[in-house]
Amino acid sequence: MSNDVKVYHQYEDDKKESYQSVVDGWNKSKKEMLESTENNRIQRWSYSNGMFKYFNNPGKVITDRNPYINIVDTEEFDLSIKNHPFPPDPPAFNNKNRPNFFGTLMDEYVDESDWYKDTLHTSYERILREAKGQDLPQVHPEKQMDEKDLKKAIFDYAKSRGFVSVGVTKIDRRFISVEVDDEIIFDTIILLGYEMPHEVVHRYPKPEHDTAAYYGYAHCAAHVHEVADFIRSKGYDCRARSWEGFIKYSVHAVNAGLGNFSTYGIVHTPECGTRIKYTSVIIDADLELDEPIDYNIEEFCARCRMCQKSCPSGAIPKEESRYRGTVKRTTDHIKCFDMMAIKHECVQCIRVCPISMLGYENALNSLPTYYKHNLDRPAYKTNYKEVSDEA
Ligand code: SF4
Ligand code: SF4
């Protein structure tokens, strides 16, 4: 990437920031960004250098054409949800006095550790090769169906491979790490969410036989190429993408109508709350886009806050940010990662979450009637029920 890349916001290990200081820092950064870029500017996630880089944006025409991406206000999202996927140097993973999180977690707690590691490694290597144009599988020379039938066929097949949350939206390049920009060669993305089993999450804080997040990652890794190969067999080109953080999936999942943001910034789905990990396939086809849906989850979260009250690291703070009638929190990724390293993924915020553990319908039905109006909306039934019934 070129020299005009600039890092505007970076968090340090021991830096304690109040919400107001984040606001002040953001406003200062924003002013500098505005002064240093042109009108087509774009704000981007960055894997290697911290939270923000700021660019002039030749791809603005793509985002401007997309009717859905502006549903999420990127400034407010960045401000109020701090658990971005690209911490520059997560302290928990580099502290010599603690167990290496990724290195030991699977060996100690996962019965099928070898299968997990092998699957993750093999799948990721293939993704990297294909991203470079190497060893690309053949695309069937004839298109086997039109794009309408293709979408249904992909959804059915993905569900048969275990993905419970499937949706289509346009790529929002503001939420892609600049390092993989060149690899995102198609504008349409199929989100594929894999459920972390209820019983695995339930066993925490003493995970036995399995770990929640790695279950999700390993199964995303195991099945994402199957979906991509299925698409190629129907005559359409595509690329599998990984479960890692290079694409910010929460934003895309919200735009694809798969869920709403939770109190701690992870996407809540009606299928399994936040017990979910995403991977994706980008595709060279104009599939019909799914639309964002209000599942009334933010309403429920506003009356719950169990995750915030029980977070052992205090990563989900009390301070609130009100925006368009909703309340959001600023999850501190450094505190969270530190606790995850000590507590083997922790996942306390998922374990205490009524939507994730009791189910969406059960949780929402506990709301007074006047908070449940969205359950009867046609959009909810179409996107959730219909797809489930077809699987
Ligand atoms: S994983 Fe643990 S430390 Fe991190 S936000 Fe959830 S409850 Fe807090
Ligand atoms: S624990 Fe409660 S507040 Fe937190 S994400 Fe779940 S439903 Fe929302």
Q: Which band of pLDDT confidence, cut at 50, 70 and 90, is reported for residue 142?
A: very high
- Least confident among 54-68, 70-84, 151-165, 171-185: 70-84
CB distance 285 to ligand 1 below 6 Å = no
Higher-confidence residue of 172 and 139: namely 139
**358: Cβ below 6 Å to ligand 2?**
no
| Residue 363 belongs to some domain of the structure | no
Residue ID of nearest Cα to ligand 1 atom 8: 311
For the CA of 363, the closest atom of ligand 2 is 7
Helical H segments across the chain, by residue range: 19-36, 60-65, 74-80, 101-109, 113-131, 147-160, 198-202, 212-233, 249-255, 297-302, 306-310, 333-342, 348-351, 354-358, 360-365, 378-380, 387-390
For ligand 1, say whether the CB of 311 is within 6 Å of any of its atoms.
Answer: yes
- pLDDT over 50 (residue 9): no
Q: 348 in helix, strand or coil? A: helix
Angle between helices 113-131 and 101-109 (to 10 degrees): 140
* pLDDT the model gives residue 29: 63
Give residue 301 CA to ligand 2 midpoint distance, Å: 5
- The closest residue, in CA terms, to atom 7 on ligand 2 is 301
The answer to whether residue 139 is domain-embedded is: yes
pTM as predicted: 0.75
Helix, strand or coil for residue 169?
strand
Q: Is residue 89 part of a domain?
A: no
Amino acid at 114: D
pLDDT digits (tens, 9 = 90+) for 261-288: 887 778 899 999 999 999 999 999 999 9
β-pair type (163-170, 326-328)? unpaired
Quick one: tokens of 77?
């999202």
Give the ligand 1 atom nearest the CA of 314.
8
Residue 317 scores a pLDDT above 80? no
Query: From ligand 1's centre to the CA of 346, what distance in Å?
Result: 6
Whether 383 maps to a domain, the answer reads yes
Checking if the pLDDT of 164 tops 90, the result is yes
- For the ranges 3-7, 106-110, 315-319, 357-361, the maximum mean pLDDT occurs at 357-361
Residue closest via CA to ligand 1's atom 4 equals 336
Quick check: is 94 in a domain? no
Pairwise pLDDT comparison (59 vs 11), residue with the higher score:
59
Q: Is the pLDDT of residue 386 over 60?
A: no
For residue 215, give the amino acid letter. Y
Atom of ligand 2 nearest to the CA of 305: 3
Interval between CA 290 and ligand 2 midpoint (Å): 25
The domain in which residue 221 lies consists of 110-294+379-390
Instruction: Give the position, in ligand 2's atom list, of the atom nearest the Cα of 263.
Output: 5
What is the predicted pLDDT for the residue at 375? 57
Distance 364 CA to ligand 2 centre (A): 11
Tens digit of each residue's pLDDT (9 = 90 or more) over 292-312: 888 888 778 878 888 888 888
Region 37-66: mean pLDDT is 53
Instruction: Tell which atom from ligand 1 comes closest to the C-alpha of 338.
Output: 3
Assess if residue 193 is contained within a domain. Answer: yes
Residue 375 near ligand 2, beta carbon < 6 Å: no
* % pLDDT > 90, the chain: 32
pLDDT greater than 50 at residue 7: no
Which range, of 76-85, 113-122, 320-329, 355-364, averages the lowest pLDDT?
Answer: 76-85
Residue 271 belongs to some domain of the structure: yes
Ligand 2 pocket: which of 307, 310, 356 to mutate (most atoms within 8 A of CB): 307
Pairing of strands 188-195, 276-283: antiparallel
Does 350 map to a domain? Answer: no
Query: In which element (H, E) is residue 163 found?
Result: strand 163-170
Question: Which residues contact residue 248 at a Cβ distance below 8 angstroms, ignoring those fewer than 6 apart?
Answer: 45, 84, 85, 175, 176
Q: Looking at the 3D structure of the chain, how many domains does it have? A: 1
Q: Which residues contact 35 (CB under 8 A, 6 or more apart)?
A: none
Residue 254: CB partners within 8 Å, gap ≥ 6? Answer: 71, 72, 260, 261, 267, 292
